[in-house]
Structure 1
Amino acid sequence: MSKLLYLDNAATTKTAPEVVEAMLPYFTEKFGNPSSVYSFAAANKEVINQQRDTIAEMIGAKTNEIYFTGGGSESDNWALKCTAEAYANKGNHIITTKIEHHAILHTAEYLEKRGFEITYLDVDEDGKVKLDDLKAAIRPTTILISVMFANNEIGTIQPIKEIGEIAHEHGILFHTDAVQAFGQLPINVDECHIDMLSASGHKFNGPKGIGIMYIRTGVKIRSFIHGGAQERKRRAGTENVPGIVGIGTAAKRAAANMEERTAKEREVRDYLIDRVLNEIPYCRLNGHRTDRLPNNANFSFQFVEGESLLIKLDMKGICASSGSACTSGSLDPSHVLLAIGLPHEIAHGSLRLTLNEEIEKEDIDYVVDNLKEIVAHLREMSPLYEDFIKKQK
């Protein structure tokens, strides 16, 4: 295979060379434990705080509101489980949506088994939360609303500011899973009335195994990992200094080139969408046409099975996915595509292509040219497609 095109950047991204370079000394030369008192190690405490400053500035937060975690899933678990525990005397009701990442959905299921009541909001055909439905779901016992900033599969961006306003009008905490949005979209936690926010380093050219949790001052959320006094006694465990340096460097890089980078991604994304919709019959774009992540395109192809499509694209050196990487081993259709109203047979034929700033229109031409051939070939082997064509005649 001579050509490799990586179009699965929603699953993970390549760690940027400058991020790796910044991390390396903290594995070998500057390896001290930040909790130690001697200056060689204590210097790493200051380095950690510098990264905290960078990330706080990026989302309009205070430095002491940023906590480092093991990743987005840990941050999501922390937000839901510890809010539920800390505010149980106020109520036992949490509102989320049917299209959240499984880090939220499975945590919500865990809480349901422990006596909490969860409302899973429907979304419209583009994958957007309906604000009237959100308002109607609020109860006197509602303690938390958790809605993702942008969907990891179909790319739809939620009306986060409006959701935050509704939450605060009712005195309810608001958490957003911003794993896909961080580094791709401007975020200001005050403007959007966000109380807690999750993000993950490997989604914006940082390392894996390091994440962010923003917790607004005054939110009485409890510790998730107990042990030492790290992260101001809220998240025990020796700090992952190389990872923290990596995520801070990646965040600074993402902030510096966001406008130029995402403008290019949108242009290439729209070129991809236009070519696919105009040149491949019986397909549809999933997610909102414009209110979507700059690098996300998600399609469904009738009479095509998604796994076969991915295998044949892989043979052409094209890395893609049919949805979340966390469910890639599942034979069930995407819960997100079912939630926006797609029937099972069409949801099974989905393809997610997520770009980065290195992808050019020439690369898209290669992808679409091969995609057209692959879809046509798979349909030729489909008895359902054969019956459909006969009926059209």
Structure 2
Amino acid sequence: MKQIIYLDYNATAPVLPEVREVVDFYLVEAFGNPSCSHKVGQVAKKGLEEARKNVASLIEANPQEIIFLSGGTEANNLAILGMTLAQEKKKHVITSQIEHPSVLNPMIKLLEMGFDVSFLPVDSQGYVDPDELKKALRPDTFLVSIMLVNNEVGTIQPVAEIGHICRERDIVFHTDAAQAVGKLPVSVKEINCDLMTIAGHKMYAPKGIGALFIREGISLRPLMHGASQEKGLRPGTEPVALACGLGKAASIAKKDLIAEGAREKILREKLYQGLKDIYPRLVLHGDPERTISNTLSISFPGLSASQILANLPEICASTGAACHNKAQAISHVLSAMGVSKEVALGTMRLSLGRGTSDQDISRAISLFKRVLVS
């Protein structure tokens, strides 16, 4: 593993040592049920609430507006389906064509339930035009769900403008921020969102934990039924150790968010320029000025990205979104962007993180050169 160059942080990030220490403490020492009144239970409860404060602080929310659940997929499902079940009269929802499957598939479920769903197009850079949103709005629109950062190409969407449009019209706005929180400054106040999805394993917390921001005054219906934990929206004994791990990851991210983003951007540009020098036909997906700093989506037209990576066992990267890249087919994101099949099949996503060093990038460029020039 020491010889591996990990460039797949958008798929998942390793658990930071400081986060693991916190998780271990609540697994072994403070293992109590936070609903119990005895000392062990109350230590667990205190840790859980401290984690809630840390997550809330990272996105400028109030602690009572944060609920913990299993991850981004559950958060997206609860936001979309829970909001739908909580209202009775309106029938129209809006999303984009490039959302994560954990948003798109609940939208398909809504279609099966008799609701109308508008899937907004994107431009060649994967950008949603707020004017297209305005055109799609109807008197019976009750929910808009647009991701903050695209997981495949890294495009940062104009969520603040979208949130403003929705707030003016009293429409609930949900944003899937799984690829954004912990990587760039995010404020629920500036975005004007009502619901925000957070995924722990994208920001150096363990897999199996996430959070949903629910603005005070927004009502959701639970998708599971049980006791009253997490305001009854996520019943069941809380995963205290995992939640505390997420809280620790949030506190770490907040300390050096801007500096780490700037560092990763420098490394990303070095990697891009190095690969461009090797393969002048290289295609860059998205606008670098509107792309999150850690993500590089590129194509080697005329070549197979999967074959290139097969010849580079030292490098971990994705040929598309890691959750659904088994088939040799154009991803729905690249398809929506109008990318040709030749360019799409040569596309790979290289995503950097806290563990990426300058030496890693230099070595990666050398390894690519070995494969591409030979």
Q: Give distance in 2, aligned partners of 1:276 and 1:169.
A: 45
Q: Give the 5 Å matches for 1:30-179.
A: 30-89=30-89, 91-179=90-178
Residues 331-350 of structure 1: matches in 2 within 5 Å?
Answer: 331-350=328-347
Deviation of residue 224 (structure 1)?
Answer: 2.4
Question: Cα distance, 1:328 vs. partner?
Answer: 2.4
Q: CA deviation at 1:344?
A: 1.7
Secondary structure of 2:95's match?
strand
Structure 1 residues 115-153: Cα deviation after superposition (integer angstroms, max 9, x where no partner)? 111111111111110111110000011111100000111
1:277 is displaced (CA, Å) by 2.4
Q: Verify the 8 A CA contact 1:176 1:194 in the aligned structure 2.
A: yes
- Measured against aligned partners, the alpha-carbon deviations of 1:337-387 in whole angstroms (never above 9, x if no partner) come to 11111012221111110111332333222212222332345xxxxxxxxxx
Scaled by the length of structure 2, the TM-score of the pair is 0.97
Q: Does 1:22 align with 2:19?
A: no
Distance in 2, Cα, partners of 1:209 & 1:190: 27
Structure 2 residue corresponding to 1:327, chosen from 305, 324, 345: 324
Asked if residue 241 in structure 1 is aligned to residue 240 in structure 2, the reply is yes
Secondary structure in 2 matching 1:191: helix
Change (3 A) 1:92 1:262: same
In the TM superposition, residue 164 of structure 1 has moved relative to its aligned partner by 0.3
Provide the residue aligned with 1:365 in structure 2. 362
Give the counterpart letter for 1:98 in structure 2: Q
Instruction: Give the SS at the match of 1:152.
Output: coil
Q: Distance in 1 between matches of 2:282 and 2:131?
A: 31
Distance in 2 separating the partners of 1:219 and 1:256 = 30
AA in 1 matched with 2:23: M
Q: Secondary structure at the match of 1:100?
A: coil
Aligned to 1:223: 222
Corresponding residue SS for 1:53 = helix
- 2-structure distance, mates of 1:49, 1:362: 40
The 3-state SS of whatever aligns with 2:77 is helix
1:388 is aligned to: none
Deviation of the 1:39 alpha carbon: 2.6
CA distance in 1, matches of 2:329, 2:109: 21
Match of 2:298, SS? strand
How far apart, in 1, do the equivalents of 2:307 and 2:317 lie?
Answer: 12
Does the Cα contact within 8 Å between 2:278 and 2:373 map onto a contact in 1? Answer: no
How many pairs are equivalent? 374
SS in 1 for 2:231: helix
Give the AA of the match of 1:313: L
Rounded Cα–Cα distance in structure 2 between residues aligned with 1:373 and 1:153: 26
Distance in 2 (alpha carbons) for counterparts of 1:330 and 1:66: 37
* Bigger Cα displacement from structure 2, 5-14 vs 368-377: 368-377
Deviation by residue 1:261-306 (Cα, 9 ceiling, x = unmatched): 1111011111112222233132201122211111100101111112
In structure 2, the gaps of 5 or more residues are none
Matches of 2:145 and 2:83 in 1, distance apart?
A: 11
Larger Rg: 1
Alignment of 1:235-384 (within 5 A): 235-314=234-313, 317-376=314-373
Runs of 4+ in 1 over 3 A off after TM superposition: none
Q: Is the 8 A contact 1:304 1:375 kept in 2?
A: no
Secondary structure of the corresponding residue to residue 41 of structure 1: helix
Q: CA deviation at 1:49?
A: 0.8
Question: Mean Cα displacement is larger for which, 201-210 or 304-313?
Answer: 304-313
**Partner secondary structure for residue 236 of structure 1:** coil
Match of 1:193 in 2: 192
- RMSD value over aligned CA atoms? 1.3
Cα deviation per residue 1:190-245 (whole Å; 9 max; x = unaligned)? Answer: 11101000011111111110001000011111122211110122210110011011
Q: What SS does structure 1 have at the residue aligned with 2:73?
A: helix
TM-score under structure 1 length normalisation = 0.92
- Secondary structure in 1 matching 2:212: strand
